Amino acid sequence: MTRHLTLHLIVLLSVGALLTACNRQNANDNNNAAPSTAPAGSVLEGKLLLTGSSTAAPLMEEIANRYELLHPNVRISIEMGGAERGINDARDGIADIGMVSRLVTDDDRYLKGFPVARDGAGLITHKSNPVTTLTSSQISDIFRGRIKNWKKVGGFDTPIMVIKREEGRGTIVMFMHHFNMTYSEMKAEKILGENSEVIEAVAAHSNAISLMSVIVAENEIRAQVPIKLVSVDGVAATHASILSGDYPFARPLTLVTRGLPGGLAKNLIEFSLSPQVADIIEKMGFVPYQE
């Protein structure tokens, strides 16, 4: 069994256990005569705030729109700001649910994570760049500033312009973990946050390279934006390679809460994990986490 498949199975079991725990907690609350947040036959109502990952935000906006159609008395607000904001806001009680483009780790104590979809963290360059694939060693050396010219990796004789993501973004956290690299070790000419900013910068500079959601990049490429995804160790950065588990930078899009969720937050999370939104996840190019 591959590492990716093992991780996939572990997280699936964890999600199932967490949802079961939520149901048990609600049952215990009912036994203790605490009022239920949504008795059978009642109308769901209230407000929810979700903050965090700019990759997960568009997906959750679509899911929230469908949820609000089913529950007209519910209003869901979604704000971006990066995975670290999602973690912090959920932990501090600022947001009901945080959106994170990575797994929840032991460092995220007091938080519960529920993966809803899978994506990949890709490397993008300008469309005109002749480099189509990079090895892990080359990628590490580029972002550590050891390789500074595209000619060293089969490209034009021109300086490499590294654009790194803001600290705390899901893509950068996953990248640093994979390459055992600290944020300060990454050398860069620019630091940008939102996906749109990175796409615009790479499209404007023929010698640029940066990190980007594979699905977001594929959508931009279909829209004729002059960027491309670079293969990693010969594995193409595509929806198919993420689905198969072959792509080395696959990651989950995760909803996080402070402790086990209850009430409206729990209901929305269960909805986001259900077959009722599988078509939304697939339409937007992501891979449903539970298949």
Q: Is the pLDDT of residue 9 over 90?
A: no
pLDDT confidence of residue 137: 95
For residue 231, what are the β-bridge partners? 133
pLDDT confidence of residue 177: 82
Pairing state between β 97-100 and 208-213: unpaired
In b/e form, how buried is each residue of 205-244, taking b as 16+ CB within 10 angstroms? bbbbbbbbbbbbbbbbeeeebebbbbbbeeebbbbebbbe
Question: What single letter denotes the amino acid at residue 14?
Answer: S
**pLDDT (tens digit per residue) in 133-165:** 999 999 999 999 999 999 999 999 999 999 999
C-beta separation of 211 from 125 below 8 A:
no
Distance (Å, rounded) from C-alpha 245 to C-alpha 4? Answer: 6
**pLDDT (tens digit per residue) in 52-70:** 998 899 999 999 999 999 9
Q: Is the pLDDT of residue 7 over 70?
A: no
pLDDT confidence of residue 175: 86
